[in-house]
Structure 1
């Protein structure tokens, strides 16, 4: 059994600008890419909370603009 304190996570992102964490060393799911940030679960989640200020997909503003035209 692993100690969660020692577990390391990678912060990953997708094409819509969403963030998640993923256990370091495990294959990242299709559609997600490493951000270059790694750390403990707590540190990784703290980083995400600081940089991910909008949970809306990055395509939403364009879709809303198109709908208004």
Structure 2
């Protein structure tokens, strides 16, 4: 099957970005950070960036959900 315009372009280098909900993603290193996201200072191949995310993002629930669950557990 040939490529379509819907397929994503693979970039040579990526950076790891994080949002205010402490959710991680990768983004092409030569592009400005998307709105609401900031670079964490890690860049490299797609595999290197994804490995970094696997190491640091152990709880994938958004920060707001984790806080609500903690408050309920503490009886607030």
TM-score normalized by structure 1? 0.81
Task: Tell me by how many angstroms 1:25 deviates.
Answer: 1.0
Query: Residues of 2 paired with 1:44 and 1:38: CA distance?
Result: 6
CA distance in 1, matches of 2:15, 2:59: 20
Map of 1:54 onto structure 2: 59
Distance (Å, rounded) in 2 between the aligned partners of 1:61 and 1:48: 18
Gaps of 5+ in 2: 1-9
- Higher RCO, 1 or 2 (CA under 8 Å, sep at least 6)? 1
| Offset from partner CA, 1:26-61 (integer Å, 9 cap, x none) | 121100000000010001001101110011011113
Query: How do residues 20-59 of structure 1 correspond to structure 2 at under 5 angstroms?
Result: 20-59=25-64
Question: Counterpart in 2 of 1:12?
Answer: 17
Gaps of 5+ in 1: none
RMSD between aligned alpha carbons?
A: 1.9
